């Protein structure tokens, strides 16, 4: 019997999970997404090509891998159709390699309108949602009136769709939000036809059968731990559990089946949307890091806020997820900077703390440590990296008490070194 490994983000998303999954994928038989939906943008680069996936798991380019969209995902059929079309040139046998959970919730066109209307109604307190309908769809799931992929083959689907849509329209009406969605509705029904041509099943059986027949399963997270609905910087979070626990609930895996937990973090921090960010850099410094790292959202194109690495937050994420190995991404971005910093604690009301706060307000001052920077040259392995970069890695390992086993030095699969742990 084999076990399930989990790969997830330890910051506010955009850590580089797409590249990491794609890199690891050849070792696995199954790659499964367990939460989130089209708010995610997982970027993969290989053979000089760049591809962004939103809902489809990042193992899709490896023909031998089965890719599962799990029950914990919320799926927009219109985005699904676009993603399938964009994969067309790669000549992949998607009907065989992609499996959809019958229990994954459907994002309706009116969910997206609700997302917009609710964001507008929040005024200055808006979350900065990607407006992909994520929050309203999870609300309907928990409210027990959502529609699931498995429902699209049922004879009463249209009736249930209309009932839910009417509920949404009445809320929109009360919010004074009126936007035509007839075109989107047409596209929605067309894309359901495509969805019906895929394998729709109780993927929890598929995954557990895979485990018991010795297949290797990788659970792929989306967003990041600091956006988790329970433990993130609430209310500036997404609407799902982005942690290891989310992998169990979002795929139907028992906790005892989890083996390795790969925690992905950037050598610095970024955040899109609103919410506190104690190590954020403003003005020239922030702008320069944004340019060096090309920090613009893969889904919305929005500029990402940038700042130094936050060790208390990283420790918190490692604790919540039971991280066994760390993957440090985008170390190349800091190349050429004379002094790099990391935050070791926060000062709040004159007191120093290393605890991730309940209300994570802007009044948390970072206590930063300065380290000498490095300039990246040619490298073959971890040993041949600049000594200051190796020290940076070892400093993090010392503070987080977890080994770093992979360092990413560029977007391509080849720009990666492994470190023995
Ligand atoms: P929502 O999940 O679209 O409702 O967005 C809620 C918050 O999570 C917003 O601040 C978004 O910017 C952020 N967010 C959602 N998905 C991602 C992601 O994949 N990467 C980074 N931030 C995300």
pLDDT tens per residue across span 360-410: 666 789 999 999 999 999 999 999 999 999 999 999 999 999 999 999 999
261-285 burial, b at 16+ Cβ within 10 Å, e below that, comes to bbbbbbbbbbbbbbbbbbbbbeeee
User: What string of H, E and C letters represents the secondary structure of 20-69?
Assistant: HHHHHHHHCCEEEECCECCCCCEEEEECCEEEEECCCCCCCCCCCCEEEE
Q: Which atom of ligand 1 is nearest to the CA of 9?
A: 20
Q: Which atom of ligand 1 is nearest to the CA of 240?
A: 2
Tokens of 364: 């948390």
Q: Give ligand 1 pocket residues (Cβ under 6 A).
A: 12-14, 39-41, 127-130, 132, 134-135, 222-223, 227, 236, 238, 272-273
Give the tens place of pLDDT for each residue, 60-104.
999 999 999 999 999 999 999 999 999 999 999 999 999 999 999
Q: Which of 39, 73, 131 has most ligand 1 atoms within 8 Å of its beta carbon, as the pocket-test mutant?
A: 39
pLDDT value at residue 360: 63
pLDDT value at residue 5: 98
Give the tens place of pLDDT for each residue, 11-48.
999 999 989 988 899 999 999 999 999 999 998 888 88
Tokens of 229: 């609905």
pLDDT value at residue 261: 98
Residue bearing tokens 């760390």: 326
User: Nearest CA to 9 among 236, 313, 218, 264?
Assistant: 264
Contact 407, 401 (CB under 8 A): no
Q: Which atom of ligand 1 is nearest to the CA of 272?
A: 12
Residue 176 CA to its chain's centroid (Å): 32
User: Nearest CA to 15 among 255, 377, 400, 313?
Assistant: 313
Q: Is 29 a catalytic residue?
A: no
Give the tens place of pLDDT for each residue, 316-362.
999 999 999 999 999 999 999 999 999 999 998 899 999 988 876 66
Burial class for 102, CB neighbours closer than 10 Å (0-12, 13-18, 19+): middle
Checking if the pLDDT of 2 tops 90, the result is: no
The single residue of 14, 115, 140, 332 carrying the catalytic annotation is: 14
Contact 109, 184 (CB under 8 A): yes
| Angle in degrees, 0-180, between the axes of helices 157-174 and 109-121, rounded to the nearest 10 | 20
Q: Is 181 a catalytic residue?
A: no
* Centre of ligand 1 from the C-alpha of residue 283, in Å: 23
Burial class for 71, CB neighbours closer than 10 Å (0-12, 13-18, 19+): buried
> Which DSSP letter does residue 301 get?
-
Checking if the pLDDT of 231 tops 90, the result is: yes
CA distance 411 to 18: 10
Sorted by sequence, the CB contacts under 8 Å of residue 143 that are 6+ apart come out as none
Checking if the pLDDT of 205 tops 80, the result is: yes
CA distance 68 to 97: 8
The single residue of 22, 29, 42, 54 carrying the catalytic annotation is: 42
C-alpha to C-alpha distances, 149 to 94, 153, 328, nearest whole angstrom: 17, 8, 36
Give the tens place of pLDDT for each residue, 252-303.
999 999 999 999 999 999 999 888 899 999 999 999 999 999 999 877 888 9
């Amino acid at each position: 019997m084999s076990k399930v490994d989990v790969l997830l983000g330890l910051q506010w998303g955009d850590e580089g999970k797409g590249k990491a999954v794609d890199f690891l994928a050849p070792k696995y038989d199954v790659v499964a997404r367990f939460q989130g939906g089209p708010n995610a943008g997982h970027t993969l680069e290989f053979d000089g090509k760049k591809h962004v996936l939103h809902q489809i798991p990042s193992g899709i380019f490896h023909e031998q891998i089965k890719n599962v969209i799990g029950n914990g995902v919320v799926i927009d059929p219109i985005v699904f159709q676009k993603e399938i079309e964009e994969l067309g040139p790669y000549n992949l046998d998607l009907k065989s390699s992609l499996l959809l959970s019958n229990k994954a919730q459907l994002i309706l066109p009116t969910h997206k309108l609700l997302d917009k209307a609710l964001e507008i109604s929040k005024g200055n307190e808006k979350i900065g949602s990607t407006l992909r309908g994520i929050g309203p769809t999870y609300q309907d799931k928990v409210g027990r009136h959502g529609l699931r992929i498995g429902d699209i083959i049922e004879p009463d689907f249209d009736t249930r769709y209309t009932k839910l849509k009417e509920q949404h329209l009445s809320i929109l009406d009360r919010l004074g939000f009126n936007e035509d969605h007839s075109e989107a509705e047409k596209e929605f029904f067309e894309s359901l036809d495509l969805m019906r041509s895929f394998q729709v099943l109780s993927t929890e059986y598929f995954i557990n059968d895979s485990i018991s027949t010795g297949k290797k399963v990788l659970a792929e997270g989306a967003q990041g731990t600091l956006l988790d609905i329970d433990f993130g910087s609430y209310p500036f979070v997404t609407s799902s559990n982005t942690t290891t626990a989310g992998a169990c609930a979002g795929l139907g895996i028992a906790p005892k089946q989890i083996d390795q937990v790969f925690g992905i973090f950037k050598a610095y921090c970024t955040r899109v949307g609103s919410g506190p960010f104690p190590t954020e850099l403003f003005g020239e410094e922030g702008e320069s890091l944004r340019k060096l790292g090309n920090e613009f959202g893969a889904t919305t194109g929005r500029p990402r806020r940038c700042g130094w690495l936050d060790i208390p937050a990283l420790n918190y994420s490692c604790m919540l997820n039971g991280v066994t190995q760390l993957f440090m991404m985008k170390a190349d971005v800091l190349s050429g900077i004379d002094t790099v910093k990391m935050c070791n604690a926060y000062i709040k009301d004159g007191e120093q703390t290393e605890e991730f706060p309940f209300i994570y307000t802007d009044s948390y001052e970072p206590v930063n440590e300065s380290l000498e920077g490095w300039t990246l040259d040619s490298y073959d392995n971890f040993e041949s990296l600049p000594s200051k970069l190796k020290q940076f890695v070892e400093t993090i390992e010392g503070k987080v008490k977890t080994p770093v086993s992979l360092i990413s030095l560029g977007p391509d699969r080849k720009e990666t070194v492994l470190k023995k742990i």
